[in-house]
């Protein structure tokens, strides 16, 4: 008999951390371990709570992201697991969202990105998917894919603002290490 192992909450790395600045490796073999990691990441994201999480944020340098931008308790959740996600087309039209990141808690800033994107990825069952995303989904997908290239939303901000946030994070991490 196979034991059912429920998804496990993983530890989220906090900025600044060298692992958040690295380029993640493509997934070449979709193993059960990677599916398990994806399930753990969804669990971790929902518990945080957040709307997206990338594998490097839990210390795994593989090209895997999870997201669910459905809002409101009454709406049906839509967990998406994306291996090797790629933006294959983006709109000229841009939109501005106040972004945050589970690796940079309590810090938010406006980021301008293409308003609509086509994303291609391999799903949890190993099938290739392509979807056109708009609104928050488009922003979230781009934010998470950035993580796979070692890019954080604060990298879009002016240096002064970025340094201010990083200083706050260094202080927070020092406090967390002490407690």
Could you say whether residue 101 binds Ni ion (CB under 5 A)? Answer: yes
Closest distance of CB 28 from Ni ion, Å: 24
Which of these, 16, 36, 53, 17, lies nearest to 145 by C-alpha position?
A: 53
In the bound state, the residue with its beta carbon closest to Ni ion is: 101
First to last CA, the chain: 42
Which of these, 115, 82, 101, lies nearest to 153 by C-alpha position?
A: 101
Which pair of structure tokens corresponds to residue 166?
Answer: 């990083």
The residue (of 11 and 74) whose beta carbon lies closer to Ni ion is 11
Give yes or no for a contact between 68 and 141, defined as CB atoms under 8 angstroms apart.
no
- Residue count, binding to Ni ion (CB under 5 A): 1
The residue (of 7 and 100) whose beta carbon lies closer to Ni ion is 100
Angle at 174 between CA 171 and CA 175, to 5 degrees: 90
The residue (of 101 and 122) whose beta carbon lies closer to Ni ion is 101
Closest distance of CB 4 from Ni ion, Å: 30
Residues 113-132 touching Ni ion, rule: CB under 5 A, are none
Which of these, 14, 12, 10, 24, lies nearest to 150 by C-alpha position?
A: 24
The residue (of 41 and 101) whose beta carbon lies closer to Ni ion is 101
Residues 57-76 touching Ni ion, rule: CB under 5 A, are none
Distance, CA of 36 to CA of 66 (rounded, Å): 12
Q: From the candidates 75, 99, 128, 144, which is the catalytic residue?
A: 144
Closest distance of CB 103 from Ni ion, Å: 6
144 is a catalytic site residue: yes
Of the listed pieces 17-25, 79-87, 98-106, 117-125, which binds Ni ion according to CB under 5 A? 98-106
Closest distance of CB 54 from Ni ion, Å: 7
Of the listed pieces 17-25, 29-37, 95-103, 116-124, which binds Ni ion according to CB under 5 A? 95-103
List of E strands, the chain: 52-54, 64-67, 80-90, 94-101, 104-114, 117-122, 128-133
Residues lying near Ni ion in the complex (CB under 5 A): 101
Q: Which residues are catalytic?
A: 144
């Amino acid at each position: 008999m196979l034991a059912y192992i429920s998804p496990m909450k993983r530890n989220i790395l906090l900025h600044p951390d060298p692992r958040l600045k690295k380029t993640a490796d493509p997934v070449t073999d979709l193993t059960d371990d990677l599916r398990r990691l994806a399930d753990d990441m969804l669990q971790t994201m929902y518990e945080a709570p957040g709307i997206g999480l990338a594998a490097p944020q839990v210390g795994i340098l593989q090209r895997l992201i999870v997201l669910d931008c459905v809002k409101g308790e009454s709406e049906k959740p839509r967990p998406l697991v994306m291996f090797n996600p790629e933006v294959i087309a983006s709109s000229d039209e841009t939109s501005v969202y106040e972004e945050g990141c589970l690796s940079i808690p309590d810090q938010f800033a406006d980021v301008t990105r293409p308003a609509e994107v086509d994303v291609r990825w391999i799903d949890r069952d190993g099938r290739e998917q392509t979807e056109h995303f708009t609104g928050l989904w488009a922003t979230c997908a781009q934010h998470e894919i950035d993580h796979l290239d070692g890019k954080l939303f604060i990298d879009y901000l002016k240096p002064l603002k970025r340094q201010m946030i990083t200083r706050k994070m260094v202080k927070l991490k020092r406090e967390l290490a002490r407690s």
